[in-house]
Structure 1
Amino acid sequence: MTTEPGEPSGDRGQEKLTLVQLLPNMLTVVAICAGLTAIRSGLQGSYEVAVQLILLAAVLDGMDGRLARALKSESGMGAELDSLADFLNFGVAPGMLLYTWALEDSRSVGWLAVLTFAICSVVRLARFNVQRKSEDKSHDNAYFTGVPSPAGAMLVMLPMFLSFGLGTGPVLPDVILAIWMVIIGLLMISRIPTWSFKTTRIPRKNAKFFLVAVAVALAAAVTYAWITLVAFCVAYVASVIIMLPRRRRAMSDD
Structure 2
Amino acid sequence: MDAPDPQSAEPQEGAEPQTRPARARWAMAPRRDMPLVQLLPNLMTVAALCAGLLAIRLAARGDYANAVALIIVAAVLDGLDGRLARFLKSESPIGAELDSLADFLNFGVAPGLIISFWAFPAAADLGWGAAMIYVVCCVLRLARFNVGNEVAAGLARLGKFQGVPSPAGAMLVMLPLYVAFLWPDAPRLPEIALSLWLVGVGFLMISRMATPSLKSVRVPTERASFVLVAGVALVVILLRYPWAALTTISLAYLAVLAVTGFAQLRRSRG
Q: TM-score per shorter chain, which class?
A: 0.7 to 0.9
Which amino acid in the other structure matches residue 121 of structure 2?
Answer: E
Contact 2:44 2:77 in 1 (8 A): yes
Q: 1:57 to 1:140 in 2, by over 3 A?
A: closer
Identity in percent: 48
Question: Residue 20 of structure 1 corresponds to which residue in structure 2?
Answer: 37
Question: Residue 89 of structure 1 corresponds to which residue in structure 2?
Answer: 106
- Unpaired segments of 5 or more residues in structure 2? 1-22
Which amino acid in the other structure matches residue 96 of structure 2?
Answer: A
Matched, 1:194 2:208: no
Which amino acid in the other structure matches residue 154 of structure 1?
Answer: M
Q: 1:251 to 1:217 in 2, by over 3 A?
A: farther
Counterpart of 1:36 (choices 53, 71, 96) is 53
* Alpha-carbon distance between aligned partners in 2 of 1:3 and 1:119, rounded to the nearest angstrom: 42
Counterpart of 1:184 (choices 187, 201, 206) is 201
Question: Residue 47 of structure 1 corresponds to which residue in structure 2?
Answer: 64
* Alpha-carbon distance between aligned partners in 2 of 1:152 and 1:33, rounded to the nearest angstrom: 20
Contact 2:163 2:209 in 1 (8 A): yes
Contact 1:38 1:93 in 2 (8 A): yes
Deviation, structure 1 residue 249: 7.8
Residue aligned with 2:130, SS:
helix
Deviation, structure 1 residue 220: 1.7
Residue aligned with 2:148, SS:
helix
Contact 2:155 2:161 in 1 (8 A): no
Contact 1:21 1:73 in 2 (8 A): yes
Which amino acid in the other structure matches residue 143 of structure 1?
Answer: K
* Alpha-carbon distance between aligned partners in 1 of 2:269 and 2:221, rounded to the nearest angstrom: 31
Residue aligned with 1:167, SS:
coil
Aligned alpha-carbon RMSD (Å): 2.9
Question: Residue 64 of structure 1 corresponds to which residue in structure 2?
Answer: 81
* Alpha-carbon distance between aligned partners in 2 of 1:246 and 1:212, rounded to the nearest angstrom: 32
Deviation, structure 1 residue 154: 0.4
Q: How does 1:81-230 map to 2 (within 5 A)?
A: 81-105=98-122, 107-131=124-148, 138-141=154-157, 142-168=159-185, 171-230=188-247
The structure with more radius of gyration: 2
Which amino acid in the other structure matches residue 47 of structure 1?
Answer: Y
* Alpha-carbon distance between aligned partners in 2 of 1:150 and 1:173, rounded to the nearest angstrom: 26
- The structure with the greater share of residues assigned to helix is 1
Residue aligned with 2:234, SS:
helix
Which amino acid in the other structure matches residue 73 of structure 2?
Answer: L
- Unpaired segments of 5 or more residues in structure 1? none
Deviation, structure 1 residue 3: 9.9
Contact 2:155 2:210 in 1 (8 A): no
* Alpha-carbon distance between aligned partners in 1 of 2:29 and 2:39, rounded to the nearest angstrom: 21
Q: Deviations over 1:46-100 (max 9, x none)?
A: 1111111111111111111111011110100000000000000000000101111
Count, aligned residues: 247
Residue aligned with 2:193, SS:
helix
Deviation, structure 1 residue 16: 1.8
Residue aligned with 1:194, SS:
strand
TM-score by length of 1: 0.87
Deviation, structure 1 residue 170: 6.8
Deviation, structure 1 residue 250: 8.2
